[in-house]
Every structure is written in structure tokens, then in C-alpha cells.
């Protein structure tokens, strides 16, 4: 039996997933395959690199000057969200072990969205610099960050084209999945008319990507439905918040910590069943 771990994104909602990851690491839970998208890609780094509390340190900054997003960041770096700070500075500051990450035999992928084709792509590499680049591309939010170039193509947030890559895990041969979602059951995002027009204006040269952006909410509902169907069939465990999730760019330290611990305790409930699958 091949087991898979599927990690949704959601900006700072990924701190919930960080709590899940730390619980899995503490209990020495080993999956055969992991796929992460957007903030879920950051959590993929933490899980594959066995970096306990790494996401907690990265996403919960006690000083505004240390944060990778917000008005202060805009003043300092002219970027509202500075992903170079996350992947280049935080990795050094918090001692991320890239050697352990690269040498881990687990099969992993990160999801990116190709802005030319409007399609999701699933990337893996044994090169540290390219792994960081893929992570940055997967996390690059439309309108807030610039596209990242990889092998001559431009990429943005993987969550645009595949927010919950459960189907990808099935296609990779996984029989049982643990799917970590960052929204409460029944909670969905909505794109207002102003945002639709903004995306059309910014990405007008990439009509297929615009189509993907405008269809994202519909696709997300379909992917949640697939995840819940797999759970009903006994093929998946869904770990998601049961309390109100934090915002995509939440800045309240107490709220972020609460979300982190919520993820940890929710994961703990499922450890016996997950262990039965993975062992």
C-alpha cells in the first residue's frame, strides 16, 4: 500500500498545517509520497527535511521588521510579500538542513501554475537552488508577487490551478491519503468583480491563466468534494480546522499560535489510524 500526504496552501493559514507537520514528525510518521501547493510547499520542505517547528518559526514572527509580508516589508523591500526572505534568509536563520531534505528518499512534488498554459505542473528536483526556486514559484500569489522563471517558463501560485492535489496523489499510485486542508468544512473563498477585473488587467497577455484564475473557486469546490468522497470511501483522512481559520495574511501572533496548536491537536487525534496505514 502506498500512502500519500496532500498539503493545501492558503498563505498564513499554512500555520495550521505547520502544527500538523510537527505532530507527524514527533510521531515518526513516514509517508511514501507528499505533494504540497503554495504554503503547503513550505510545509513540504519542513516534512521532507524533518525540520521540527520550522514552519512555526517562519510564519510567526514576533517583530514586524522580521516579517516577510506587510506594510513594513513593503517599505523595506518594496514587496508586500517577500518570498526571497522566506526561502533564503529564514532557512539560514532557523537552520534548515537542506542536506537532510535532499537525501530523504521520500517521493515529493510541489505544485506550480504555468501562466502561459494555465495548467498545473508538478515539480521535483535534487538541486537545492532549484528546489528553493520551485518553492518560491508555488507560493507566489497573483497580484502580490512577480512570476518566477523556471526553465524558460513563468510560474505563479500552484493553488490557482490545483489547490488540493489529491487527484495527483492518486495518479502517482497512492492508495491511502492524508489530506490537510486549511479551511473549515463548508468555508469557500469568493472572488468579487473588482478582483476579477484586476486579474484580467494584470494578466491580460495570458488568457489561459486568467481563465484558470476565474474558475479557481469552482475547481476548489470540486476538489473538496473529491476529498470528502475519498474520506467516505475510507481512502482518505481529512485534517482541517474546526475553529475559524486565520486570514491569508494574518498578522496577529496570538491568532497564529492558536491556529498552529489547533493543527497539532487535530493531527494528534488521527495518529493511531495514520500509523496503522503507514506501518
- b/e per residue 72-82 (b: at least 16 CB within 10 A): ebeeeeebbbb
pLDDT category, 62, cuts 50, 70, 90?
confident
Is the pLDDT score of 70 beyond 90?
Answer: no
Q: Is the pLDDT assigned to residue 126 strictly greater than 80?
A: yes
DSSP notation for 1-65: --EEEEE---GGGHHHHHHHHHHHHHTT---SEEEEETHHHHHHHHHHTT-TTHHHHHH--SSGG
* Across 16-25, average pLDDT: 98
Q: For the CA atoms of the chain, what is the radius of gyration?
A: 17
Residue 154 has pLDDT above 90, yes or no: yes
d(CA 182, CA 225): 15
**What pTM, to 2 d.p., does this model score?**
0.95
Amino acid at each position: 500500500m502506498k500512502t500519500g500526504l496532500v498539503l493545501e496552501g492558503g498563505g498564513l493559514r499554512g500555520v495550521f498545517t505547520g502544527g500538523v507537520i510537527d505532530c507527524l514528525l514527533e510521531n515518526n510518521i513516514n509517508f511514501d509520497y507528499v505533494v504540497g501547493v503554495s504554503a503547503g510547499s513550505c510545509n513540504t520542505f519542513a516534512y521532507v527535511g524533518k525540520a521540527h517547528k520550522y514552519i512555526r518559526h517562519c510564519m510567526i514572527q514576533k517583530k514586524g521588521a522580521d516579517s516577510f509580508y506587510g506594510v513594513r516589508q513593503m517599505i523595506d523591500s518594496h514587496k508586500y510579500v517577500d518570498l526571497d526572505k522566506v526561502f533564503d534568509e529564514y532557512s539560514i536563520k532557523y537552520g534548515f538542513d537542506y542536506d537532510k531534505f535532499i537525501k530523504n528518499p521520500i517521493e515529493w512534488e510541489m505544485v506550480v501554475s504555468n501562466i502561459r498554459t494555465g495548467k498545473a505542473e508538478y515539480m521535483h528536483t535534487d538541486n537545492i537552488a532549484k528546489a528553493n526556486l520551485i518553492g518560491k514559484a508555488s507560493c507566489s500569489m497573483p497580484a502580490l508577487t512577480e512570476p518566477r522563471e523556471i526553465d524558460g517558463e513563468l510560474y505563479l501560485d500552484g493553488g490557482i490551478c490545483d489547490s488540493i492535489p489529491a487527484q495527483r496523489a492518486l495518479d502517482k499510485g497512492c492508495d491511502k491519503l492524508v489530506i490537510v486542508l486549511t479551511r473549515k468544512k463548508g468555508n469557500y473563498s469568493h472572488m468579487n468583480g473588482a478582483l476579477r477585473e484586476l486579474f484580467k488587467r494584470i494578466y491580460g497577455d495570458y488568457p489561459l491563466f486568467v481563465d484558470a484564475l476565474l474558475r479557481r473557486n469552482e475547481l476548489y469546490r470540486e476538489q473538496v468534494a473529491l476529498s470528502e468522497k475519498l474520506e467516505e470511501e475510507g481512502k482518505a483522512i481529512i485534517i482541517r480546522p474546526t475553529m475559524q481559520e486565520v486570514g491569508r495574511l494574518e498578522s496577529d501572533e496570538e491568532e497564529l499560535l492558536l491556529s498552529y496548536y489547533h493543527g497539532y491537536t487535530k493531527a494528534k487525534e488521527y495518529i493511531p489510524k495514520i500509523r496503522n496505514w503507514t506501518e
